[in-house]
Amino acid sequence: MIARIQRLPPQLVSQIAAGEVVERPASVVKELLENSLDAGATRITVEVEQGGTRLIRVRDNGSGIHPDDLALALSRHATSKIISFDDLQHVASLGFRGEALPSIASVSRLILTSRFAGQETGWRVTGDGGDTVGEPLPASHPVGTTVEARDLFFNVPARRKFLRGERTEFGHIEDNLVRLALSRFAVGFGLWHNQRAVLDLEPAASEEARTRRVAELLGREFAAASVFLDRADAGLRLWGWLGLPAVARAQPDQQYFFVNGRPVRDRTLAHAVRLAFQDVLPQGRHPALVLHLELESAALDVNVHPAKHEVRFRESALIHAFVRQSLQTALAAARPGSAPAPAPALQTSARPWPSGGFSRGWNGGAEARQSGLPLAVSQQLAAYGELHGSPLPAEARPAAASLDEVAEPPPLGYALAQLHGCYVLAENRAGLVVVDMHAAHERILYERLKSALAQGGIQTQALLVPVTVAVGPRERQWVEDHSALFAQAGLEVAVLGPETVVVRQIPVLLAGLDIAGLVRDLLADLAAHEASDRSERAILEVLGSLACHGAVRANRALNLLEMHALLRDMERTDHGGQCNHGRPTWAQLTLAELDRLFRRGR
């Protein structure tokens, strides 16, 4: 028999509403923190016990609640944040539904104490999970509000048993506080768990103080390997901290997006970030970042999710393009010398140099054993100086000259030697620079190929004698299906037979290389990754593979002029601080670190 329609009891209505607002202790903390921020608080303290299941107490120094409004604050659909439909269209507060306090009161033992600005004393009301609220009573309290929720879900045991362990629940609480602390730098935050201080953040008014807060919340490694960006255009502003590829993560767990100060999870922003980093991060790695987007409130809808996690942009395509371009510009500007490079871990154990592992580029040392790099640099020292507009390399300067005598040495300094055929060692003002020559050259070639493509096409040259390459059925199919894609990258490759393809044209930048090996490696890479579309991503993958396999290999001896040219090209190349796979191209060992290694001054 179908039951008749009837009005639900008020307590059951409140508990149903609580299901939308209060999922776990972290939900309670989030709602109370947002209320405190909306009340203009400049200091908020959160105390929890047993992961928030036993106690959640949130104190603030905001404007407080008028004593006549205390009981109303625990009633559903009662709020001070919106009055009219127009207010709903231009929401500036974090919360506004008027459901948080009554929902929390319906599933906990709640005490609400507040002192309104201008009042001589505070007042307190209580709720015990029922549908009635006690009469307000006087209570000693400074201006502001304290909300105390004990025994969460004591009257809804089915909900309580679905909670996770204490550490997990507290982790969600901490994450909520971190998000809000990164959104409101002018507010101080404190967090205690089981009577132990976890966070104590002072208000951060200056840029230096904000950076210190970011370092405290996301780690000093992130702060040291990130760049600050601030760009405004077309009524939009994007600012925040962008982690360089060196601090990329296996999960997108350190991506914090804020729209007009509101923490959000938005697909438009996430996709723009992914495209901006596609050239500098390998598959499966995610950047760390803290990004604030500011725009007119009328240009977005914040009321599309009960918990306000999501927003809807009026012009999402404009937002996407603005964010992507802003991030790409910031990443491209982070060239060697413009941001600190990660220093390698210092090892204190000494080992003798292996024979043949250290080649010097001046007279009496090992001579270059192979042809020069395919880099557009002069072969004469005088022309080198004119081309780069910098002092002559070390071998052209007097033997007694030092960096202190040079007006303004380049950021990566001057090459000294090559180590194990893999690394270039250079001296700059800070100390010792170590460069991974393959990774650096790979990025240089890739950016040159991209630039040539953007400027109308990659310059090519026909091979006097076409090169034939033996391939398997899968690689041959690739050539048949995607010859136009190869042509975009400057390669003319055609099927010659069942197991043979022929290369008739190559990019000028790759002249002099092992063409057969390069094409064979390229086809193997593409077949493995199954990049079958002809989109921007596909052509970039082809260019990336060409650059990777065209870059100078390990155990290739370079002369000193080639080393200098590599350093100068790195300084001028976008994204020169990391290779196409997101690995760093160079590292800095400062003089202080070297002194510590050898215990100088102790």
Question: Which of 71-80, 85-94, 264-273 shows the lowest mean pLDDT across its residues?
Answer: 85-94
**Whether this model's pTM surpasses 0.85:** no
Average pLDDT, the chain: 80
Q: Give the pLDDT band of residue 168 (cuts 50, 70, 90).
A: very high
Between strands 289-294 and 255-259, the pairing is: parallel
13 or 485: which leads in pLDDT: 485
DSSP 375-443: ----SSHHHHHHHHTSPPPGGGS-TT--GGGSSS--TT-EEEEEETTTEEEEE-SSEEEEEEHHHHHHH
> Is residue 376 left, alpha or beta, with left meaning phi > 0 and alpha meaning psi from -120 to 50?
beta
Q: What is the three-class DSSP state of 595?
A: helix
**pLDDT confidence of residue 345:** 46
The pLDDT > 90 percentage for the chain reads: 40
Q: What is the mean pLDDT of residues 50-66?
A: 95
593 or 13: which leads in pLDDT: 593
How far apart (Å, rounded) are the C-alpha atoms in residues 314 and 81? Answer: 23
> Is residue 261 left, alpha or beta, with left meaning phi > 0 and alpha meaning psi from -120 to 50?
left
CA distances to 151, 193, 286, 470 from 530, rounded to whole Å, are: 54, 50, 21, 20
The H or E element containing residue 480 is helix 473-481
The answer to whether the CB of 467 falls within 8 A of the CB of 502 is: yes
**539 has a pLDDT exceeding 90:** no
451 or 539: which leads in pLDDT: 451
DSSP 431-449: EEEEEEHHHHHHHHHHHHH
How far apart (Å, rounded) are the C-alpha atoms in residues 179 and 212? Answer: 15
238 or 155: which leads in pLDDT: 238
Per-residue pLDDT reduced to its tens digit, 290-345: 999 999 887 776 654 555 566 788 888 899 999 999 999 998 887 776 655 555 54
How far apart (Å, rounded) are the C-alpha atoms in residues 88 and 91? Answer: 5
Per-residue pLDDT reduced to its tens digit, 169-190: 999 999 999 999 999 999 999 9
**219 has a pLDDT exceeding 80:** yes
Q: What is the mean pLDDT of residues 344-354?
A: 39
Q: Give the pLDDT band of residue 73 (cuts 50, 70, 90).
A: confident
Question: Which of 10-19, 163-172, 247-256, 327-336 shows the lowest mean pLDDT across its residues?
Answer: 10-19
**What are the strands, taking DSSP E only, across 61-140?**
109-115, 122-127, 137-139
Q: What is the mean pLDDT of residues 35-59?
A: 95
Per-residue pLDDT reduced to its tens digit, 409-431: 899 999 999 998 899 999 999 99
**pLDDT confidence of residue 408:** 76
**pLDDT confidence of residue 360:** 34
Own/partner pairs for 267-275, CB < 8 Å, 24+ apart? 268/313, 268/316, 268/319, 268/320, 268/323, 269/293, 269/319, 269/323, 271/320, 272/319, 272/320, 272/321, 272/323, 272/324, 272/327, 273/323, 273/324, 273/327, 275/324
**pLDDT confidence of residue 43:** 97
**pLDDT confidence of residue 379:** 36
Residues 6+ positions from 269 with CB-CB distance below 8 Å: 257, 291, 293, 319, 323
How far apart (Å, rounded) are the C-alpha atoms in residues 558 and 509? Answer: 18
**pLDDT confidence of residue 364:** 31
Q: What is the mean pLDDT of residues 21-30?
A: 89
**pLDDT confidence of residue 53:** 95
**pLDDT confidence of residue 265:** 87
**pLDDT confidence of residue 356:** 35
Per-residue pLDDT reduced to its tens digit, 84-130: 445 444 455 565 445 688 888 889 999 999 999 889 999 999 987 76
Structure tokens that stand for 131 in this block: 């549908």
43 or 512: which leads in pLDDT: 43
Q: What is the mean pLDDT of residues 17-30?
A: 79
How far apart (Å, rounded) are the C-alpha atoms in residues 527 and 200? Answer: 53
> Is residue 151 left, alpha or beta, with left meaning phi > 0 and alpha meaning psi from -120 to 50?
left
Structure tokens that stand for 417 in this block: 């030697």
Q: Which amino acid would we find at residue 596?
A: R
Q: What is the largest CA-CA distance in the chain?
A: 103
**pLDDT confidence of residue 85:** 46
Per-residue pLDDT reduced to its tens digit, 358-387: 333 333 333 333 334 444 333 333 333 444
The pLDDT > 70 percentage for the chain reads: 77
How far apart (Å, rounded) are the C-alpha atoms in residues 126 and 133? Answer: 6
Per-residue pLDDT reduced to its tens digit, 383-410: 334 444 444 444 444 343 456 555 778 9
